[in-house]
Amino acid sequence: MAALMEAQLPLRAVNNKIRVDGVSRHFPSGHGGQLAALENINLEVLPGEFLCIVGPSGCGKSTLLHLIAGLDRPSTGEIWIDGRKVLEPGPDRILLFQELGLFPWLTARENVEFGLRQKGVNTKERREQAGYYLDLVHLSQFEEHHPHQLSGGMKQRVALARALAMQPDVLLMDEPFAALDAQTRDLLHDELERVWRETGQTIIFVTHNVREAVRLGDRVLVLSYRPGRIKTKFSISLARPRHIEDPEVASMSKKVLGHLREEIDKSVRAEFHHEQFA
């Protein structure tokens, strides 16, 4: 087995953490047709890179993260992580879902402990780690609350704690801060950046907020709308720590936004059309 794997390795030079290779994902659409959510995506992510993805809603951002997480299979193409093909979910890459997916029957703490328990971490250690990560997202007071007792922003923070507690090599984040007020979001940007530096995690961060993408990312990708393709890749070489209000962040965001705007227009028109004639 090991010999077989090694035989494959030299073919794929493993200097990137994630390699998305000609990936398309088509969904069956209404009238027997096919919807190309993603079309021929090629992407390499370096170990420890913080990659942000922006794009209009419906362009396939969530689909891409699901594919990398191994929760869905590409229609064509392959995804490789550490030189191994992604066939199923794994504890080395954790997705923070756009819909969060917190379990309503568990408390905030139990939600954070869930994945640790699956890993076989013992009760005491689980409790400690859950406490640590809930503290990190400033929710210590709410450990024993159930999700329905928390605000939207608090739920997002529980989901963040749950993902971070798994200490994955690869952290996939799908619009994780969309429901937060600006102040809390700034705070969590700092915390996330700190955790990222300390752990050396590779992060793919999806957002519709260009400023946020430029604030956080080493690179920012703009996806196009239908079919979802990579339209532009920006390298963000601004020095860290950055702040979302920095003038450099603002001017870079303007550049990115220029490329994004066209796609947003496309998506808005498509949705308008859809509403009119559906």
Partner 1 sequence: MNNLRKIARQVGFYAFVLALWQSLVLLKLWPPYVFPTPASVFEALRIGFSDHTFWIGIGVSLKRMLVGYALSVILGGALGLLLAHSDFLEETLGRLVVSVQSMPSICWLPLAILWFGLSEKAILFVVVMGSLLSISINVEAGLRNVPRIYAMAGRNLGASGARLFLYVLLPASLPHLVSGLKQGWAFAWRSLLAGEMIFVSLGLGQLLMMGRDLNDISQVVAVMVVIILIGFAVDGLVFRVVERNLRRKWGLSSAA
Ligand X SMILES: Nc1ncnc2c1ncn2[C@@H]1O[C@H](COP(=O)(O)OP(=O)(O)O)[C@@H](O)[C@H]1O
- Which single residue is written with the structure tokens 């498509």? 270
How far, rounded to the nearest angstrom, does the alpha carbon of residue 97 sit from its chain's CA centroid? 8
Nearer to Mg ion, 69 or 249 (CB): 69
Min CB(246)–partner 1 separation in Å:
34
Binding mask 77-96 for partner 1 (x = CB under 8 A): -----------xx-x--xx-
What backbone phi and psi angles, to 5 degrees, belong to 173?
-125, 120
96 near ligand X, judged by CB under 6 A:
no
Tokens for 108, please give them. 């905030």
98: nearest Cα among 3, 209, 190, 172: 172
- Of ligand X, partner 1, Mg ion, none, which one does residue 27 interact with (CB within 5 to 8 Å by kind)? ligand X
- Within positions 156 to 195, which residues make up the interface with partner 1, using CB under 8 A? 162, 166
Q: In the chain, where do the E strands start and end?
A: 18-28, 34-45, 50-54, 76-81, 84-85, 93-96, 170-174, 202-207, 219-223, 230-235
Provide the 10 A C-beta neighbour count for residue 181: 11
- Within positions 100 to 159, which residues make up the interface with partner 1, using CB under 8 A? 101-105, 114-115, 117-119, 146-149
214 near partner 1, judged by CB under 8 A:
no
Which residues contact partner 1 (rule: CB under 8 A)? 66, 69, 71, 88-89, 91, 94-95, 97, 99, 101-105, 114-115, 117-119, 146-149, 162, 166
Which residues contact ligand X (rule: CB under 6 A)? 27, 35, 37, 55, 57-63
